[in-house]
Structure 1
Amino acid sequence: MPNAATPIAIVHLPYQPPFDWPRMLRFFSGRATLGVEAVEHGAYLRAIEWEGDAGTLAVTQDAARHSLVATLSGAVSRHADALAAPLSRMFDLHADPAAIKKVLGADPWFKPLLKAAPGLRVPGAWSAFELVVRTIVGQQVSVKAATTIVGRVVQRAGRRIPGHPHEHTAWRFPTPAALADADLSAIGMPGKRVQALQGFARAVADGVAVIDPPGQPYTSGQLAELRTTLLALPGIGPWTVEYVAMRAWRDTDGWPATDLVLMQAITARDPMLLKPAQQKQRSQAWSPCRAYAAQHLWNEIADRAQGERGG
């Protein structure tokens, strides 16, 4: 917790109810980067930096006021007004639940899912860079394993915040340049994946790949250009591009068609839809809300797993 001398700013971020904060936190908790972010006592916490000023972010829900409350501690607190928009995007606060329900609710497949989680949102990301790092590391490994390896990446290439009072958020995520130059030997990833990760970081550091441009919300033309830029990099496939489009670029129609869980979910509902092309055609019924369709299908699995654990 910040001491009395630590500058603090509090920002209220409104949303249209319903808003499913517990499921949002569950998603972030399972993927929290060790040392950088954490979920504790109903709050999302992380170390952040904005225009050279560092600090800590804590986000909680004020359900009565239909808002999230962001508490910024440290020098970064002077940027409270500037951070309101990116934080709203990160937690998908601009979503219109009624509009999403109208589109997805027209399909019988989604009626029970919407009923089970009417306020489900698509969790965002602090940056596209950070999310791509996570997805490259997570290729062909479990979510838990990816979380462990990303934590190692942070310790190799990130910066520890001197005197930080909260151990779980005491590290700043690596910059593109630092990650590109870091020694990632024996970190738990195959050599080719390390090369892809550091090649991506170098492309971002050198300005060859601009994947976090200012100016959100992006136009359809900008989204197409971002997709092309990211897909052109070695080690980046269509799944990663669509996943980043959903979470970082806020494309409500992003659809990772080759995602195994999504493919199985569709086949379970219609065994005739075996081929990716057939499934992609079926997904057109959920446009322009396919990102929310994907999130509901993923959430169905997460709910089932939590129920089996008795949580």
Structure 2
Amino acid sequence: MHAVDLSYRPPYDWAAIHGFLAARAIPGIEAAAPGYARTVAIDGRHGTVAVALEAGDRLRATIRADAAALPEIVARLRRVFDCAADPAAIGAGLARDPGLAPLVAARPGLRVPGAWCGFELGVRAILGQQVSVAAATRLAGRLVAALGTPFAGAAQPGLTHVFPGPDAIASADIAGLLGMPRARGAAIRALAAASLAEPDLFAPGQDPATAAARLTAIRGIGPWTAQYVAMRALRDADALPVGDIGLMRALDAGPGRPSPAQLLARAEAWRPWRAYAAMHLWTADAERSAPA
């Protein structure tokens, strides 16, 4: 077991990022009480990670995996928990919008949650098309139960599998297994095939336009899914899922929701932090929609 501290620039909104990940935790792969834990696979070797908030402007990661995999695991965890963000710069940029200023003031340490694996996130994004977060998470759990690899390591509560790789998904009848529309199942299979053909499809740091074009060239992946993947897996701070119903609902100040074109025009003022603006709006929308 290895204990590693993940430093960050304060403030850090742990409650928001933990809540986001907890709401999307896939049964068998992730657990979110009291901190966040998940299974991982690096070069075919299984392990687990657990992350919790510690005093002193750091997160504490408890890693059970081969020592040789530690640098890769730590780098991924820093992306998942957005440890490199500069809250002061992001807040100053977004606070210029009078509508966003109070949201930034209320949550100055809000992060954009990253993804452990780009392919996993892409599958989850397709599962989430046209359904709720809860429904998408249930579908992901069924996918893992059907195609995931049983976890090979010391038993951890609730952690039983690792997420299936593209080779396991490319040839499976996803729609039949999950009871979902055939077009959506075909999109997941197409994503798996593209990931096998292009191993760098989800590599962080790509040119945003090029990355979006590569993703939208896959049948069944549209601009929303490509931008969502860019936000979380490719770490594009300026990605924006235009047309997202939650964003437009959050911007409804009384006269009605903006159109996608109006949202895109307003978002020009949020550059280069549009992904963080989206997180603030999603968080505000979730708080507004939550039961009293």
The TM-score, its normalising length taken from structure 1, stands at 0.88
* Aligned 1:1-311 pairs, distance under 5 A: 8-41=1-34, 43-62=35-54, 64-75=55-66, 77-162=67-152, 164-184=154-174, 185-207=176-198, 210-213=200-203, 216=204, 218=205, 222-266=207-251, 268-269=252-253, 271=255, 274-306=258-290, 308-309=291-292
Matches of 1:292 and 1:120, distance apart in 2: 8
Matches of 1:275 and 1:39, distance apart in 2: 35
Q: What SS does the corresponding residue of 2:192 show, helix, strand or coil?
A: helix
Q: What SS does the corresponding residue of 1:269 show, helix, strand or coil?
A: coil
Q: Is the 8 Å Cα contact of residues 37 and 50 (structure 2) preserved in structure 1?
A: yes
How many residues get paired?
291
User: Aligned letter for 1:15?
Assistant: Y
Shift of 1:162: 4.0
Matches of 1:106 and 1:281, distance apart in 2: 15
Q: Is the 8 Å Cα contact of residues 56 and 72 (structure 1) preserved in structure 2?
A: yes
> What RMSD, in angstroms, separates the aligned Cα atoms of the two structures?
1.8
Q: What is the percent sequence identity of the aligned residues? A: 43
Q: Is the 8 Å Cα contact of residues 127 and 139 (structure 2) preserved in structure 1?
A: yes
Where structure 1 has 5 or more consecutive residues not aligned to the other structure, the ranges are 1-7
User: Aligned letter for 1:26?
Assistant: G
- Compared CA separation, residues 224 and 66, structure 1 to 2 (3 A): same
Q: Is the 8 Å Cα contact of residues 46 and 56 (structure 1) preserved in structure 2?
A: yes
Q: Is the 8 Å Cα contact of residues 250 and 284 (structure 2) preserved in structure 1?
A: no
Shift of 1:135: 0.9
Q: Is the 8 Å Cα contact of residues 156 and 182 (structure 1) preserved in structure 2?
A: no
Q: Which runs of 4+ in 1 moved over 6 A?
A: none
Deviations 1:172-231 (A, max 9, x none): 000001111234324121111111111211221233x73223xx4x15xx2222111101
Shift of 1:271: 3.6
Matches of 2:258 and 2:238, distance apart in 1: 22
Deviations 1:76-99 (A, max 9, x none): x43223322221111111110000
Shift of 1:148: 0.7
Matches of 1:188 and 1:87, distance apart in 2: 33
Q: Is the 8 Å Cα contact of residues 11 and 80 (structure 1) preserved in structure 2?
A: no
User: Aligned letter for 1:190?
Assistant: P
Matches of 2:276 and 2:241, distance apart in 1: 12
Shift of 1:167: 4.1
The TM-score, its normalising length taken from structure 2, stands at 0.94
Matches of 1:234 and 1:55, distance apart in 2: 33
